[in-house]
Amino acid sequence: MKIYFTQGTTSCPKKSISPIALKVIGLIFFSVLSSFVIAQNTPITGRVSIRDSALANVTIQVKNTNTYTVTDENGRFTINAPANATLVFSSVGFVTQEVAINNQTSLNIQLVSSNQQLNDVIVVGYGTQRRRNVTGAVSALTGGDVQRTPAVSTSQALSGKVQGITTRAGDARPGAGIGLQIRNLGTPLYVIDGIPSDEGLFNQLGINDIENISILKDAAAAIYGLRASNGVVLVTTVKGRANQRSSINISGYYGLQNFTRYPQPADAYQYLRGRTEAVQNTNTVTGNQDLLPITKEELNKWQLGSDSGYQSYDYLKIIMRPNVPQSFINASASGGSDKITYFLSGSRLDQEALIKDFRFNRTNIQSNIEAKVTNRLKVGTQISGRIEDRHQTGVPGTDDYFNPFLSILSMWPIESPYANNNPNYINGNVHNINVNPATYDENVTGYTDDIWSAIRANVTADYDFGGGLTARGVYSTTYTARRYDCFEYTYNGYTYNPATDMYSVSGGNQNPYRQKTRANIKEQVAQLQLNYTKRFGSHTINALAGYERSNREYTELNMNSNPPNNYIPIMRFQELTGTSDIWDKWAREGYIARVNYNYKEKYLLEALGRYDGSFIFPKGQRFGFFPGISAGWRISEESFLKDKISWLNDLKIRASYGQTGQDQFTNNGDWITGDPFAIVAGATTGAGSAVFNGALISGTAPRGLPVTNLTWITNSTTNIGIDITLFKNKLAGSFDVFERKRTGIPAGRYDVLIPSEVGYGLPAENLNSDLNRGIEGILTYRDKAGSVDYSIGVNATLARFRDGEHYKPRFGSSWDQYRYSIEDRWGYASWGYHVVGRFESMEDVAAYTVNNDGQNNRTQLPGDFKYEDVNGDKVIDGLDERPIGYQQGATPYMSFGINGSASYKGFTLQVDFAGASMQSFQRDWELRIPFQNNGNSPANILEDRWHRADPFDPNSAWIAGKYPAVRYGSNPNFRFSDFWLTNITYLRLKNLTLGYNLPGKVVKKLGINALRVYVNGTNLFSFDNMKEYQIDPEISSTNGFSYPQQRLYNFGFNLTL
Amino acid sequence: MKKILFLFLAGSFFLSSCEKDWLDVQPQTILTDEQTWNDPKIVVTVLANFYSRIPAHYSLTAGWQAMSEYDEAMWSGFSNDEWRNNIPTYGYERWRLWDYGFIRDIQVAIDGIDGSATLTTDQKTQFLAELRFLRAFDYFEMVKRMGGVPLVSTQLKYDFSGDPSYLQLPRSKESEAYDFIAKEVDSIKNDIGNTGSNTRANKYTALALKCRAMLYAGSLAKYNSQMSTPITLPGGEVGIPASMATGYYTAALEAAQEIITTGGYSLYNTNPNKGENFYEALAKKAGNNEVIWAQDFAQGNLHFFTYDNIARSLREDNLGSSAIAPSLNLVEDFEYLDGSNGALKTRTPDGSDYIYYDNASDIFANKDARLYGTIIYPGTSFRNQMVSIQAGVKVWNSATSSYQTIESDQFGSIYGGTSYPNGDRGLLTGADGPHRTQQDISNTGFYLRKYIDADPGASKRTQLSDMWWVRFRLGEIYLNAAEAAFELGNTQTALQYINLVRERAGFPANSLKALTMEALQHERRVELAFEDHRVWDLKRWRIADKVWNGQNNGYSVVYALYPYRVVRPGDSRNNKYVFEKIIAPRFRSPHNFRLGNYYSSIDQGVLNNNPKIVRNPFH
């Protein structure tokens, strides 16, 4: 492909691009091109720069004409324009500047980076606002901020970037999103190009198609009504810009991934020694005279590991491959005339998992086209499509990823994956063949393909009535299809007989399984809005009225079968073992009104309201009204400050209060009524079944009382904030304090005591409340030192859930109240025991006066935990529990990020840290209990433990360690205590990128417009307190069986044609 | 203007699509009351829901794990359930049941059918009788656990007035609850229909309920009063006067005799192999004339009981197995066919040496055939496949004149190879264990046979088992009749019934010549093992606190039998089998049944909601 580009004044873009692109562009624009008008005037030359660096590709347009040009790699331009004309300088990422020519023939223009600037237009609900006029708590990110990290899902890219966002990557398997919340309020509403969308659609966006993201956190979100109570993430996709020269952009990267961390399993010697100790230590307690599992001589051979047959297997190494690839490629074309703008983009992401045959890929397309039909009417479409493909081996069990992780700590290190280490024969003689990783091969155990495809089409029409009145209609439909196919094969295991050198079948899996799921989601959104903008002298009014309705219907058909062989995926009736047919639907509508008023952009006021209806409530009770108000005062515009204090550029105080209604209750989307059709009486089908005289009858159950007395949960959000810009706009900051109060949370009115014998409980009523409170802030500093441009930003959020008032709480005792009251308390604390010491010896056990194990310490051994006897009753029991940590698995209460960048000549260095504190992780199961489920254990539990000097001599001396003595069965050390709970704080280097823009001369020689290359590292290191457990600080699964984040080394490029 | 019109049209097009009311969503899974109660086919589906909700302390699908928590077996499955072997005392909330959600739904159905416009009188009569049977059965399940409970027999409807006190009903007397069950059975037994069905309740199902309930009531009346301190409440909610015993026993005997004489049932006795025959008596569905009422399963509604409990080496796919491991205590309770005590003989009478057996199964020779039908023991097979139960080898050391015991962590391992270069390459540890510490393998040396499905594939996750759960069978009715007759002083009648049951087990005709209460109790233990009788029998006889007394002996502890192969080359004892009786290694706490366990505690919420409900004793 050869590219030509003609520099200079031009009336229509003349270039030869790829034939396909030409066709596309040609088709769309053929009719439009003729409308360009040719202008002939005096030539004006000049240079555009930011501070001292030349800016290439800045569009320069003669205002109100179709004459434009762009700067070259040295920032130079020439344009023909009338001497009295005005030139408009624009470029993505910079503040658009208008310069009157005033008979000059040469211009030197300095552009200002638009990042965080007051003039930035940011997207708010159903429209845009200039940042300086925003009165709500809104954070904004550009596409560039998001694309800095090679994140697979959009949520990953937001971690640590702005204040108000809290994230936790509980499971970072290929293609997975991460837990993202705004101010820890719950799952937010995602709005993509104005259309409410779900988390999946957001996470699987083409990352290069994102123009910007706004986070609405307070009453500003309320305009989205009933789903916006947890905040709103607004995404706008890239649009072509009018009169922008056509360009084609190709970018991509290729990287190699490795785990950040995973617990190392014990080796054969540690394992067998642990087994011996376990029997010895268990016998000490129970008095049983069990045989030890191994002799001293044998154990020594395992320790040496040199004799044949005494080699240890490391299943972490066997299962997880190093350096697996992740790659991305995107191509886009964008441009526009004065009548039509377009942006077309296609991208493909491939990510392999560290487990063989597990991978993820995604293809995205985005097509945004807008056309001015007349001067008043503009129509447009945004069409986006994606295909996500998750391919895994068909490991038995519901989640294919689970068993490989289980295997690492479950396979005994004395067991080989293959019989006689011959990779043609799976070892069937293992303690559980389902966790033998030799079977995790798609040719052995089968495959799972989980393919989601989605297409969304938005059609918009904008009509300008003139005089500031505009109307907009939007219709959007999304069709999502899931195609899930799982085929688990049968396979044989083998044992090797060295005497005969033969392999014989032993064990294996004769449990074939086939599942097909076909699911469809059909979503519709329609919006109609009227906007009115008018300026009367110093007064500006902006009003919006709108109506919106949406619904979503989900259907799913499942079939399971017992396939007769490992080859034929088609299912036949005789082989079926089960089917299910699932249906679900919801519908909502709302009326929207908002008025913005400002006086000289000094006093700002916004009032809004929504009248929302949901299908969940009975007819006649469906609608609720939720208002909001916010105000801002730009103190720096006051005459006593304006231009009086040189270092103060801008200072604004804002406050907001808003309400939203909620018909869904928890993060899982549970309906407030508990059941989407709780208002319906009658009988539920498909409830249980019984066999009558040989025939299976599917059951029908009478329904409970219809729920008619519940109505909306009301969220009231209060926010007070301050925005400040100092030192010639070098330092910008924004700080907020906030609270969300939810009232009307369903609860039983339990002072009306319905006898249990009635057989049903009273339906819940809107009685309880809770709160979320917090503070957040961001501070950004940009400056230049020599020829180095640099910026550094820090942000932090502290947001915490607090239980509110409950309907007439009752407590049996003061302790009951202390332990179980959630009245006006920080919520979801982890309660457990406090370890105050260790038993040092059997004498210490005998002399200890507190009944530590509830069995007069007969089960205690040296090294066991002594729990704090909080109430001093000499018995350790539930009464001695106290708060020892935060909510487990939740997004962290405190999040912070540091983002920096520096550029020198063509080089840029970007660095992003993200961190969190006030989150808790509990080590349980495999990470706590030796030989859990008859498996192996992490090495540290079996190594750094209390034990006897000689495991074969029960009378030898005890040696101290970190973990308690290894034994079988439950023991008092497994109680939930602060030994097993870690309150995590971490700061990790999310991203380090070094990029280089090739100089203009080189680029020109290559016949292209611009080329940037970069190297990048993700998750290179972290400071945290989970290192010794070899656990990634963000995972939440208590046994550690989840995919930790990857360390990625990456090379990428960005090419503009 | 045209354009405004266009815009207006476009707007109305997508907003006024066809739905009348955007927020009216019609569910696709819910029937209206009119549809439900006017169609006999739909009423049968309501019954199917109710049958699936019949409570049980344990069954093949609900709470079967509790089989491991008494003296019939222990837990040998997944190690996270290890606590089942470590229950120092039974909690007072154990067995609790306050099942009024089910009662309410039955009442809703009764009212719906009563008010139905299109059901015929015959249909209504039959449905109502069946619903009242289900209600009576549910009350029996409650009264045997809780003592007297409020007897609700109408729909209790709250009027939302703020004062629901008019809905408060007190607990009935314990005797009133049993009387209610008897009365209900009497009044519906001729209307209930379903003749010949053993999966939907019919006349004899109802009589079987009455028979069992009356026997319980009779023994409660008799044995509670014989306690040193009878367990009673002043209102009679707990405690039946001794004077009522005779009436209840008589009712039990009459109900049993009506089933025996007019029901057309017979003890299953078709397989000449008495052990296999006893297994088939519960397992066989076709041509089984013994089963009165069972919870059946079929394709689409199958269960995991076989998957979870089949002997280790017979697993068809690879997770779990062997969870319920029968105890040596139960094995030894099966008598020898000559009527002698069933204790197994492992050592010479003077205790100086093992008894050496040629085959592992020889130690069980001449035992009650129900042992084979209930338990897989060393040297027997299942699904025509030999089960290999051998803990290890006993290697003779002539220098010390003693045996060294060797066991392996590998099942089906050979005594030889790198670890034992001097071994004889014979079997070391059997493919079925037992093993002292590992999970999913018997810890006692025994596996369950009763209720384990012999069909190939029944232990596969993708196929599963359709083995049914027998709620009533003639064998129990005979033992009920025998016990009631014995308590009424009619020993000859009692002997006649009990000997029929013993004869089917391989004993000679009239094997018992005299009868004691202990013999009756013993007979129920071996005949009805794993059929959810043991706890309730011990409770009503008021001996549970003595049998499970928390002491480290007797029935409070689960014992195991570990077989070993003797390695003593050149000696006649080489390759013979010896046995060790030990406390099961994974067993941790002796069972301790307290006086407060005779009746379960009532949930605090129930007490709060209705001040007329009185607590049970000791709680």
How does residue B321 score in pLDDT terms, banded at 50, 70 and 90? confident
The secondary structure element, H or E, covering residue A745 is: strand A731-747
B31, B98, B440 ranked by CB distance to A756: nearest: B98
Q: Do A756 and B609 touch (CB under 8 A)?
A: yes
The span from the CA of A296 to the CA of A591, in Å, is 80
Instruction: Determine the pLDDT at residue A648.
Output: 87
pLDDT tens per residue across span A367-387: 999 999 998 999 999 999 999
Residues in chain A closer than 8 A to B197 (CB atoms): 692-693
The span from the CA of B265 to the CA of B276, in Å, is 20
Instruction: Determine the pLDDT at residue A518.
Output: 97
Residues in chain A closer than 8 A to B462 (CB atoms): 511-513, 560, 562, 577
By the CB < 8 Å criterion, does B320 face chain A?
A: no
| Closest approach of A767 to chain B, Cα-based (Å) | 16
Q: Do B79 and A507 touch (CB under 8 A)?
A: no
Helix axis angle, B474-487 to B491-504, nearest 10°: 150
Q: Which residues pair with A919 in a beta bridge?
A: A984
Indicate the DSSP class of residue B179. Answer: H
By the CB < 8 Å criterion, does B336 face chain A?
A: no
Instruction: Determine the pLDDT at residue A292.
Output: 83
The SS3 of residue A482 is: strand
Q: Do B52 and A689 touch (CB under 8 A)?
A: yes
Compute CA distances A1010 → A539, A568, A854, A868, A994, whole Å: 45, 52, 73, 67, 17
Nearest to B486 by CA among B478, B498, B494: B494
Compute CA distances B407 → B356, B385, B422, B564, whole Å: 19, 23, 15, 9
Nearest to B475 by CA among B249, B208, B216: B208
**A491 pLDDT exceeds 90?**
yes
Question: Worst-scoring range by mean pLDDT, A81-90, A343-352, B82-91?
Answer: A81-90
Instruction: Determine the pLDDT at residue A864.
Output: 97
How does residue A37 score in pLDDT terms, banded at 50, 70 and 90? very low
| Nearest residue of A to residue B33, measured between CA atoms | A682
The span from the CA of A746 to the CA of A403, in Å, is 39
| Closest approach of B605 to chain A, Cα-based (Å) | 8
Q: State the amino acid at position B416 in one-letter form.
A: G
How does residue A116 score in pLDDT terms, banded at 50, 70 and 90? very low
Map tokens 């000289």 to a residue.
A600
The span from the CA of A144 to the CA of A603, in Å, is 32
| Closest approach of B178 to chain A, Cα-based (Å) | 18
| Nearest residue of A to residue B152, measured between CA atoms | A757
Tokens representing A578 are: 């089960």
Indicate the DSSP class of residue A266. Answer: P
Largest CA distance in chain A: 105
B33, B104, B608 ranked by CB distance to A682: nearest: B33
**A22 pLDDT exceeds 60?**
no
pLDDT tens per residue across span A804-863: 888 888 787 888 888 888 888 898 999 999 999 999 999 999 999 999 998 889 889 999
How many CB atoms lie under 10 A from the CB of residue B474?
24
Instruction: Determine the pLDDT at residue B20.
Output: 65
Contact (Cβ atoms closer than 8 angstroms) between residue A901 and residue A909: yes
Tokens representing A814 are: 């003061």
The span from the CA of B307 to the CA of A428, in Å, is 19
Q: Do A461 and B410 touch (CB under 8 A)?
A: no
Q: Do A690 and B52 touch (CB under 8 A)?
A: yes
**Rounded to 5 degrees, what are φ and ψ at A133?**
-100, 0
A694, A702, A755 ranked by CB distance to B105: nearest: A702
Q: Does domain B95-157+169-296+472-545+595-609 have CATH number 1.25.40.390?
A: yes
Q: State the amino acid at position A911 in one-letter form.
A: V
Contact (Cβ atoms closer than 8 angstroms) between residue A707 and residue A678: yes
Helix axis angle, B517-527 to B491-504, nearest 10°: 30
Tokens representing A871 are: 């109430």
How many CB atoms lie under 10 A from the CB of residue B513?
8
The span from the CA of B359 to the CA of B60, in Å, is 33
| Nearest residue of B to residue A511, measured between CA atoms | B317
Residues in chain A closer than 8 A to B102 (CB atoms): 759
| Nearest residue of A to residue B408, measured between CA atoms | A293
Q: Do A702 and B316 touch (CB under 8 A)?
A: no
**A991 pLDDT exceeds 50?**
yes
Q: Name the residue with higher pLDDT: A101 or B483.
A: B483
Q: Do A473 and B439 touch (CB under 8 A)?
A: no
The span from the CA of A920 to the CA of B371, in Å, is 53
The span from the CA of A189 to the CA of B439, in Å, is 47
Contact (Cβ atoms closer than 8 angstroms) between residue A529 and residue A544: yes
By the CB < 8 Å criterion, does B27 face chain A?
A: yes
Q: Name the residue with higher pLDDT: A59 or B224.
A: B224
**Rounded to 5 degrees, what are φ and ψ at A612?**
-110, 145
A465, A696, A753 ranked by CB distance to B301: nearest: A696
Annotated domain spans of chain B: 95-157+169-296+472-545+595-609, 305-453+558-583
By the CB < 8 Å criterion, does B319 face chain A?
A: yes
Q: Do B45 and A760 touch (CB under 8 A)?
A: no
| Nearest residue of A to residue B315, measured between CA atoms | A507
Instruction: Determine the pLDDT at residue A499.
Output: 82
| Closest approach of B317 to chain A, Cα-based (Å) | 5
- Within a 13 Å sphere around the CA of A751, how many CA atoms are in the beta-carbon half? 6
Indicate the DSSP class of residue B313. Answer: G
| Nearest residue of A to residue B109, measured between CA atoms | A702
Expressed in angstroms, the distance from the first to the final Cα of chain A is: 10
Q: Do A695 and B298 touch (CB under 8 A)?
A: yes
Contacts of B388 (CB under 8 A, 6+ apart): B313, B412, B427, B430, B431, B432
How does residue A639 score in pLDDT terms, banded at 50, 70 and 90? confident
**B327 pLDDT exceeds 90?**
yes
Q: Find the mean pLDDT for residues B163-183.
A: 96
DSSP letters along A628-656, please?
EEEEEEEGGGSTTTTTTSTTEEEEEEEEE
Q: Do B609 and A677 touch (CB under 8 A)?
A: no
How does residue A11 score in pLDDT terms, banded at 50, 70 and 90? very low
| Nearest residue of A to residue B419, measured between CA atoms | A298
Contact (Cβ atoms closer than 8 angstroms) between residue B85 and residue B589: yes
Write out residues 560-599 of B within 8 Å (CB-CB) of A: 583, 585-586, 588
Tokens representing A890 are: 């939740």
Task: Assign 3-state DSSP to chain B and report helix, strand, coil percentages, each to 5.
Answer: 40, 10, 50
| Nearest residue of B to residue A935, measured between CA atoms | B438
Contact (Cβ atoms closer than 8 angstroms) between residue A994 and residue A908: yes
Compute CA distances A745 → A713, A804, A825, whole Å: 6, 10, 16
Q: Do B197 and A549 touch (CB under 8 A)?
A: no
Contact (Cβ atoms closer than 8 angstroms) between residue A903 and residue A50: no
DSSP letters along B71-107, please?
SSEEE-S-GGGGGGG--SS--TTTT----HHHHHHHH
| Closest approach of B513 to chain A, Cα-based (Å) | 41
Q: Most confidently modeled of A283-297, A535-549, A577-591, B36-50?
A: B36-50
**Rounded to 5 degrees, what are φ and ψ at A481?**
-125, 135
How many CB atoms lie under 10 A from the CB of residue A487?
22
By the CB < 8 Å criterion, does B385 face chain A?
A: no
The span from the CA of A89 to the CA of A96, in Å, is 6
Residues in chain A closer than 8 A to B610 (CB atoms): 753, 755-757
How does residue B278 score in pLDDT terms, banded at 50, 70 and 90? very high
- Within a 13 Å sphere around the CA of B69, how many CA atoms are in the beta-carbon half? 22
| Closest approach of B521 to chain A, Cα-based (Å) | 32
Residues in chain B closer than 8 A to A932 (CB atoms): 79-80
- Give the β-pairing of A232-237 and A189-192: parallel
Tokens representing A174 are: 């290929």
Q: Do A586 and B25 touch (CB under 8 A)?
A: yes
Percent of chain B with pLDDT over 90: 87
Q: State the amino acid at position B340 in one-letter form.
A: S
A307, A684, A691 ranked by CB distance to B301: nearest: A691
